[in-house]
Amino acid sequence: MGSKGSTLIVLNLKTYLEGTGEGAVTIAQACRDVAESAGVDIGVAPQLPDLYRVASKVDIPVFSQHLDGVGAGGFTGHAFAQSIKDAGAVGTLINHSERRLTLADIDASITAAKGVGLSTIVCTNNIATTAAAAALAPDYVAVEPPELIGSGIPVSQADPEVVTGSVDAVAKINSNVKVLCGAGISKGEDLKAALQLGSVGVLLASGIVKAKDPKAALEDLVSLI
């Protein structure tokens, strides 16, 4: 793992064609190489069918894009925590704005993930939902105003108060929960600003996955820390 503090970068591959199948492996390899050279922690969140493919080929933290709070049994079409763990994942995203859950479902997903030893990143969209998520004691909350996701406009510039406000709210509720910053993050100045606002890292996607040269984009991302 990296040595520059506890900075964490998680790259969500979503369902972008560039990040599927062997493309997911190639991007994960770029993440691993940049993480090693820069001394930071970079993880990837591929699609569920690519979890094992990436985890078995690349020595990098792998996160599921989703996890359901169900146990073993009659639950067709769900993302089962134990199977995600067995595929090689170390953690999971929960409640991404493109896969929203109810508060009860978020709680169940966190509980299921913790039950098999997976770390949890709960995505939120404002200070109030960040505070509610922190009360459920995930490992991280990632605040991402949905209108900025994929916009190329970083939340650290467009709405810095949602980051600082989330950091303050989480500190009051559970100081063990760490805050990530997301939405529109793609450049070194974006990551630097996110850290200055009090987050411990970023959750990002299209700015890297869809870049002409993802490795070069990653190198730029970590260039100022």
Catalytic residues: 96, 144
- Report how far residue 33's alpha carbon sits from residue 13's, in angstroms, rounded to the nearest whole number: 17
- Report how far residue 106's alpha carbon sits from residue 98's, in angstroms, rounded to the nearest whole number: 14
- Report how far residue 154's alpha carbon sits from residue 175's, in angstroms, rounded to the nearest whole number: 25
- Report how far residue 92's alpha carbon sits from residue 86's, in angstroms, rounded to the nearest whole number: 13
Token output for 119: 């770390």
User: What is the rounded end-to-end Cα distance, in angstroms, of the chain?
Assistant: 16
**In this structure, what are the phi and psi dihedrals at residue 18, rounded to the nearest 5 degrees?**
-65, -20
Paired with 45 in beta bridges are 12
